[in-house]
Structure 1
Amino acid sequence: MVAEHRRPQFLQGVSVNELLFESLSFADAPKMVSATFPGPKAQEALALSARTESMARGGGRMPVVMDRAFGVTIKDPDGNTFIDLSAGVGVSSVGRCHPKVVEAIHQQSGVLMHAMEVNSTKRTELAAKISEIMPEGLRGDCITFFAQSGSDALEAAVKFAKRVTGRHQIIAFHGGYHGVWNASNALTTGTAYRKGYGPFMGGVIHAPYPYAYRFPFDTTHKSAEQIAGEYVDYLLNTPYTAADDVAAVIVEPVQGEGGYVPPSPEFLQLLRKACDKSGALLIVDEVQAGAGRTGKMWAVEHSGVKPDMLTFGKGMGGDVPMAGLVMRSDLAAKIPDGSVPNTFAANSLSAAVALTNIGLLQDPELDLLNRAHQLGLEAQEYIRGFNNPYVGEVRGRGLMIGIELVEDKATKEPLSGEKLGKLMGYVLSHGVLMVPCGRYTNVMRVMPSLTIPRKLLFKALDVFGEGLRTL
C-alpha cells in the first residue's frame, strides 16, 4: 500500500462533517472475508444470473453481486465489503440508502406512489424545484418533461427539438453517449452500442469532441476546444456542408463514457455562438455530469453558457429512477398537449426522493458541491503522485475523474485488455469497485458519491495504486 508519509495532511484532522459521512457507510470497508473471490454465494448468484438474465446490460459479466449497500460501500452475499468508486455509474450522488432518502420513501409510500400522468403534489413540487436550480437561461423560465432514464430524456429532446424548429438534423460528437434506443443510439458513437443494431435515425452528423489527449488535429496554433468549436460553426453556418437543416446541437459538457473529458469553457461558448447564428438549439446532456458531480449543480455552469434544453437523470433520482428534459418555456409552448405520454414518469415516490436528494445537495452545512470540487482536486493530485508509467493522463472536474491508462506515455498506446483485466481483478479482489470507460476502455473512473469519506476515498485509491504496481 502507499506509504503513510504520502497520505494527504488533511487526513490527520477529522471534521464534524467527516464523522457524519463516515457514519453513512459500512465501517469495515474494504474487507474481504471469503477465501476466494467471488465467494461461493456470489458464484451461485452469478451462475443463476447467466442462465436467467440478459447480459446486454452494461455490467452483465462483472464478477460482483450486490446484496446490501450503505453510503459508498456495498456488501456481497458472502459478506465481502467494497468501497464503491462508481456511485452506480454516477447515480448515488448522496450515497446509497441515505437515512433521509429512506425516510422519504417510507413517508411517501404510504401516501401515493403511482399517480398516472395527471397532476400530483410531489410531481408539481419537484418541477417547481427543478426550475429554481437550473442554470442561467432556464432558471425560473422553463418547463420540465419527466422521464425514467437518460435515454428517454434524450429521445424526448430530439423529438421536441424537431417539432419546435421545424428542422430534422442533429449534430452530436465523437465519443458521445446519449442512450441506447433509436434517436439516442443514433447520437451515441460507442461501437458496442451500435454494431449490428442499425440502421438508426437518420440526419445525425458527428463532429470532433475536444479530447485534447487524443485529438486528431494539430493543436500547435489553436486549442482542441477552438478547433472543435469552430468546426461546428463551419458545419452550421457555411454552405455546402450538408448540415443545412440542423434542429439542435447535443453535447455533454463533460464527456462521460467517451473518457471523462472536461473541455475548457471556450468550447461550449463557441457552440452557443454558432447555434445562435444558425437558429439551432443547444441541448446539454447532464445525465452523468449533473446533480453536483463536477462541483456545480450543472456542469454547463462552468462555462457560463445558457442552454436551450437540458437533460438530467442518474444523480437526481439516486436510489430510484428519475430523469427528464428541461426546456425554455417558449419552446415548451410549441409542444402539443398529450403528444408524448410516459406512464411512469415522475412517479410520486421518485419525486419525493429527488426532492430529498436536491435538499441534501443544497444543504449549506454539508456543502457537498464545494466539497466535490476540492476533494476532486486533491484526488487528482494524489493519483498523479503515484508516478506510475501506465498513467498517461489524470483529468476531470469535481468528483468526475478519468485516469487514462497507456502502455507507453510517449506513444499513448492504450493499455492492453489483458493488463486492464488484471488490474480490474486486483482492485475487485481487494474490495474496491471501479468501472472503466473510454474509447479504448482504458480510462478508469473515480466517480464516488459526493458524501464519500476522505478516509475511504484514499484507501480505495491506495488499492488502485497498488494494483497498478502489480502490472
Structure 2
Amino acid sequence: MIEAELESLNFTDAPKMVTPTYPGPKTAAALELSARTESMARGGGRMPIAMDQAFGVTFKDPDGNTFIDLSAGVGVSSVGRCNPRVVEAIRKQSESLMHSMEVNSSKRTELAAKISEIMPDGLRGDCITFFTQGGSDALEAAVKFAKRVTGRHQIIAFHGGYHGIWNASNALTTGTAYRKGFGPFMGGVIHAPYPYAYRFPFDTSHKSAEQIAGEYVDYLLNTPYTAADDVAAVIVEPVQGEGGYVPPSPEFLQILRKACDRSGALLIVDEVQAGAGRTGKMWAVEHSGVKPDMLTFGKGIGGDMPMAGLVMRSDLAAKIPDGSQPNTFAANSISAAVALTNISILQDPRLDLVNRAHTLGLEAQERIRSFNSPWVGEVRGRGLMIGIELVENRETREPLSREKLGKLMDYVVGHGVLMIPCGRYTNVMRVMPSLTIPRSLMFKGLDIFGAGLASL
C-alpha cells in the first residue's frame, strides 16, 4: 500500500527517453545559454542535464525526456521534489507571511522548537539554533562561535572532508578543486586522517582505521609539542560525503568524544549531507551514541527551499553576544514552513521513511553487489547514503579512469538515470535518492547503472 502511494508521487513514465540522441535540441539550447550567461563555478554547471519539471524522484528535461534521480539534488530532496504536502505548505504560508527580516516570526520559532525535539542526545531539549541559508554558512558560524565560547583559535578537520566553500569552511575542506588557487584561507586548521579503510595510508593489521585515526586526534589534542595547543573544536562528518561516502564504525566518533573531553575542545558534527534520516537514523551521529556539542544541518531539512543552521548546547549559545551574527534571510517563513513539513513527513509513522531508508539501503547494496562487476572495488554506506567505489583493478585498487567514468556517465544519463560521482579520485558513484523513492524506481535505476558497468 505504501509503495503504491510513493509511486504515485512520481512521473509514471520514468525513465523514458523521447529524443533520438541526448541531449535533445531544447536541452542542448538550454545548456548553451546557461554556459554563456551563468557561472560554471557551481558544482554541476557542466553536467549535460537541464531540469524543466520535477516530481518526487523523477524529472523531465525541456525535450520531455523523463529521468530517475538517484542524487536527490545532492541529498537535498529528502521527501521528493514538489511533494504535495510541501507544495500546500508553501501555498498556505505565502498567503500569510514570507519575509520577516530578523525579528521573531511564528514559523521560525516553531521550527526552532521542533529542531530541539529531534536533535540527538546531548542537544535534544537543551539547545539553541542559529539559522542560515546553506551548509557553508552553518559551518562558518560553527567556527566563529566555537572560537568565541572556548577562547581558542585552532580547528581540527579531516582529510577528504567537505564543509563548504567560503573562508573558514573552505579552510576545513580538502578537495583540490575547491582550494587550488583560491588561498590563503583561514589559518589554524589542522587536518588529520579520516578512517577511509579502503584507501587508508597506514597498516591496519593490528588496529582498525577508526582506532588509528581516532587515536591520532587524541595524540594531537592531548600530547605536548604537537602544535595543536589551542584547539577550539574538532569538526567531523559522521559519514564522510564528498570524500567518498565513507561510513566509519561507531568507535571513531567515540574516541573523538573522549579526546575532546580530555582537552576541552568542542566536538562539532557536520550533518549537512548525512542528516535528516538519510542513514537510517534522523542524525548519522546517533549510530555511535556520541553526544555532540554542536551540529550543523541543511539540505534534507529544507528540501525544496533553502534552509540550514547550527545547533548548539544552550550553555554554549549563552556565551554568544546578542546581535553579533546578523543574517537577513535566515529561516524565511516559507522555508521554515517547508522544513516543518519535511520533518513531519520524515516522522510520519505510517510511512516510516527513516527505518525504511535503512532496509532499502541494505537491499540496494545487495543489488549492486549482485552485478559482480570487475569495475566495482567496494560497496559501502548507511541507509540511502551508498558509495560505489569504481576501480580499474580490484587487486591494485587503481581508480577507474576518467575515460571509463565518462562513458559510464554517458550511458546512465542517456538511459534516463541521474547519478553523481564523488570521492578523492572522482571514482565513487553515490546512491542517495529521496527517502520516498519507490522500490520499483530504485531498482530500475540501479539496473540501468549495472548495464552501464557491463557496457564498459
Q: TM-score range by the shorter chain?
A: over 0.9
The C-alpha deviation readout for 1:293-317, integer Å capped at 9, x for no partner, is: 0000000000000000000000000
**What's the counterpart of residue 323 of structure 1?**
308
1:133 partner amino acid: I
Secondary structure of 1:233's aligned partner: helix
Cα deviation for residue 36 of structure 1 reads: 1.3
**What's the counterpart of residue 347 of structure 1?**
332
Secondary structure of 1:69's aligned partner: strand
Secondary structure of 1:401's aligned partner: strand
**What's the counterpart of residue 145 of structure 1?**
130
2:10 partner amino acid: S
Equivalent residues in 2 for 1:16-415, closer than 5 Å: 16-415=1-400
Cα distance in 2 for partners of 1:35, 1:390 equals: 29
The C-alpha deviation readout for 1:17-73, integer Å capped at 9, x for no partner, is: 000000000000000001110000000000000100000000010000000000000
Cα distance in 1 for partners of 2:86, 2:383 equals: 23
Using the size of structure 1 for normalisation, the TM-score is 0.97
2:231 partner amino acid: V
**What's the counterpart of residue 461 of structure 1?**
446
The C-alpha deviation readout for 1:240-296, integer Å capped at 9, x for no partner, is: 000000000000000000000000000000000000000000000000000000000
Cα deviation for residue 349 of structure 1 reads: 0.3
Cα distance in 2 for partners of 1:49, 1:398 equals: 35
Cα distance in 2 for partners of 1:237, 1:160 equals: 22
2:367 partner amino acid: Y
Identity across the alignment (%): 86
2:49 partner amino acid: V
**What's the counterpart of residue 421 of structure 1?**
406
Cα deviation for residue 151 of structure 1 reads: 0.1
1:44 partner amino acid: A
Secondary structure of 1:283's aligned partner: strand
Cα distance in 2 for partners of 1:370, 1:150 equals: 25
- Unpaired runs of at least 5, structure 1: 1-15
Number of residues of Structure 1 aligned to a counterpart in Structure 2: 456
Cα distance in 2 for partners of 1:89, 1:55 equals: 17
The C-alpha deviation readout for 1:163-195, integer Å capped at 9, x for no partner, is: 000000000000000000000000000000000
Cα distance in 1 for partners of 2:322, 2:18 equals: 56
Secondary structure of 2:130's aligned partner: strand
Cα distance in 2 for partners of 1:149, 1:50 equals: 24
Secondary structure of 2:377's aligned partner: strand
**What's the counterpart of residue 435 of structure 2?**
450
Cα deviation for residue 140 of structure 1 reads: 0.1
Cα distance in 1 for partners of 2:328, 2:12 equals: 40
Secondary structure of 2:342's aligned partner: helix
Cα distance in 1 for partners of 2:340, 2:436 equals: 17
Cα distance in 2 for partners of 1:295, 1:113 equals: 33
**What's the counterpart of residue 10 of structure 1?**
none
2:64 partner amino acid: G
1:236 partner amino acid: L
Cα distance in 2 for partners of 1:306, 1:115 equals: 34
Cα distance in 2 for partners of 1:342, 1:219 equals: 46
Cα distance in 2 for partners of 1:382, 1:99 equals: 30
Cα distance in 2 for partners of 1:253, 1:133 equals: 17
Cα distance in 2 for partners of 1:17, 1:91 equals: 22
Cα deviation for residue 363 of structure 1 reads: 0.4
The C-alpha deviation readout for 1:188-226, integer Å capped at 9, x for no partner, is: 000000000000000000000000000000000000000
Cα deviation for residue 117 of structure 1 reads: 0.4
Superposition RMSD on alpha carbons, in Å? 0.3
Secondary structure of 1:181's aligned partner: coil
1:420 partner amino acid: L
**What's the counterpart of residue 416 of structure 2?**
431
- Unpaired runs of at least 5, structure 2: none
